[in-house]
Chain A
Amino acid sequence: MTQTAQAARTAFQDDVVALLTRQHGDIRNLFDEVERATGQDRRTALRQLVRLLAVHETAEQEVVHPFARRLFEGADEVVRERLAEEEGAKETLARLDGMDPGSPEFLPTLRALRADVMHHARAEERYEFREIRRYAEPGALAPLAQAVRAAEAMAPTRPHPGVQGAPANLLTGPVAALMDRTRDAVRKAMGREG
C-alpha cells in the first residue's frame, strides 16, 4: 500500500465524520432494500433499517451534537434544527414500525421518511459535520469514532472492515430498549458512566 493510500485509509476509518457520512449511505441502502423486497424479506430489512436509524440517531445525540455544541459559534442553532428533524423522523419511524409492510400506506410512508431522513443527513453533513472538521483539534475525532462504532455494533448492517458483528439477539426486541443499550454502550466507550 502506498503512503497516500495508507493516509486515506486512516482518515476514513478513524474520523467520526467520515464514519457517520458512510452510515448515512448505509441507511439509504437499507431504504432501497426495504422498498425492493417483499413479504418476509421486507420485514427483515425493515427491522434492520429501524434499528440502524435508532442506533445512528442515538449515537449522534450522545456524541456528535454535544461535541458540536462546545466546538463552534452558532452550533446551538444548528443542533436545535437537527434535533427537530430527528424528532419528526422518529415519529414517522415509530408509525412505520407498527405498520403492516404489505399495507397500501406502507410505501408512501416509507418514501416520505426516506426523503426526510436524507434531507436531515445532508443538512448534518453540510452545516454540522463540516464545522466539526473545521474546528476540531486533530486527534479529537478518533475517540468519537470509537464511540460511534460501539453504537454501530448494536445494529450491524452488512459486514464491513473494522466493525464487529453483534449477537443475533440484538436484532430483535423493542426499539426503545435498543436505544437505551446503545446509549449505555456509547457512554461506556466515552468513559462516562450510563
Chain B
Amino acid sequence: MTFNPLEHRGIPLDRQLRDWRELAVEPVDPDRGDPYTRCRIITMNGIEIEAMLFSHHFARHCPDLDVKRTLARVRYIEAQQQKAVNWLLPGASSVLETTISYEQVAVDLTAWIARMEPDPYLTQAYQFGVLEDFDHLYRYANLYEMIEHRKAEEIVDQLTEVMPGRPTPLHHRDPVDNVREPYDRRGANPLSKLHALTVMAAEQQTMNFYLNVGPTYMEPIARQLYQEIGMIEEEHVTHYESLIDPGETWWEQLVHHEYNECYLYHSFIEQESDARVRAIWELHLNMELEHLRLACDLMRRHDGRDPAEVLAPELPNVLTFEPNKQYLRELIATQLDLTTLGTGYVREAHERFERMQQALNSDGMPPSDQVLDAHREMFGREYRLQTEGEHPVPALREN
C-alpha cells in the first residue's frame, strides 16, 4: 500500500490536546501480550522522546519567538503522545522485564533495518551494533533468572534467541573509535535517513532508561551490570548519531523527525495485533500528519526550500518487527571478532582498543562476566534460548 504523508491532512493542532481521562490509557497485559506489541510501544516511546528533545534543542538555538511558540505547541502534544505510549507498559512488570524488552527491540529493530538498508556503509554500522545488544539480552536474561526465578523466554517468547553475541566486555572501545562517517544528505536514499534516526532514537532511550533505573536495584551485581551496559549504550548513541549528516539544517531535521513519526505509526498500524493499541497508533498518525504539515511550512518559509526535495515521494516499505534469527546467526558466525578503528572496522585488537580494555577490564572481572559466573554457580548452567540449534561459533557452545 502506498501512502504519501504529504498528501494527507491530519487533526488540526488545536484539537489534539487530551485531558487526563484520555491520557489514562489501560496498560497491556504484562504476561500474555504479544512481545512485539511491547517492542512497538518501547520503540515509539523512544521516538516521541527524541521528538521532544530535538524540539527543545532547536528552541534553544532559535531566536524567533513565533517559531519558538509553534515548536512549544507541537512539543506539548509530542509530550502527551509520549505519556500515552509509554503508559501502555504495565506497572506490574519489573524493571528487568522491561529491560529485556528494550534489548529485544535493539536486536530485532536493528537487525531488520540492517537487512533493509540500501547503503553498505550504514548496513555495516547496524550489523556491528546489533551483535552487541544481542549479547546484552543474554547477560540481562541471566540476571533475570537469578533475581526473579523467571526465564527470559516468558518475555521474548520464541521470537528472539538468547545466547552469546560479541562478548560484552569487548564493547568498551576508545570513544574516538565510536565516531562513524555520516551519510551525504544530498545523495542519501531517504530511507537511510529514516533508519538512522530510528535506531539513534531507540538507543538514546535505552541509554537514558539504564542510567535512570540502574540505581533502583539493591543487588550489587544488578547495579553494576546496568552501569556497564549503560556505558555501552552511550557508545551506541555516539555510533549511530554520527551517521546523520550534520549539514542538514534545523528545519530539514525537524521535517525528517515528523516524517519518520508518520512512517513508524503507519508501519505499526499495519502490524498491530492489539486493537486497543492500534487505536492509539491511528490517533497518533493523524496527529503527526499535522505536525509534518507545520514542519514543512516552517521549512518553506525559513529555509526557502521545498521539503519534497529532501523527502521520499511516498512511504517506504513498512518497518516490521519479526524474527531475524537466521540473519543474526550469519552475523554471529562472521562478524563477532570485529572492532572499530577510526571510522572503519578491523579484526585485530589494535593498540587504542587494548589501552581502553586495560583501563576498564584489567582489575577484576567486568560485571557482565560476573553475572554469568554467579548464575552458573547458582544453577549449574547458563540461561540460553537457542531455538535454531547449537551456537554458530563452536567456542561459544555450552559444554
Contact = CB atoms under 8 A, between A and B. Distances in A.
B94 interface: yes
Interface residues of B, number: 26
A28 B373 contact: no
Given A122-B91, A122-B94, A8 B220 contact: yes
B92 A12 contact: no
Interface in A66-91: none
Given A118-B30, A118-B92, A26 B149 contact: yes
Given A11-B219, A122-B92, A133-B218, A5 B377 contact: yes
11 contacts: A1-B377, A5-B370, A7-B220, A11-B220, A23-B149, A25-B150, A26-B149, A28-B31, A32-B31, A111-B32, A161-B380
Contacts of A169: none
A25 B373 contact: no
B221 A8 contact: yes
A103 interface: no
A119 interface: yes
Interface residues of A, number: 32
Nearest to A8: B374
Interface in A1-40: 1-2, 4-9, 11-12, 17-18, 21-26, 28-29, 32
Nearest to A32: B154
Contacts of B30: 118
A114 interface: yes
9 nearest CB pairs, A to B: A25-B149, A8-B374, A22-B149, A5-B373, A25-B148, A25-B150, A5-B374, A8-B221, A4-B370
Interface of A: 1-2, 4-9, 11-12, 17-18, 21-26, 28-29, 32, 111, 114-115, 118-119, 122, 125, 130, 133, 160-161
B149 A29 contact: yes
B378 interface: yes
Given A9-B378, A119-B92, A161-B378, A114 B31 contact: yes
Interface in B65-109: 91-92, 94
A99 B26 CA distance: 30
Contacts of B220: 7-8, 11
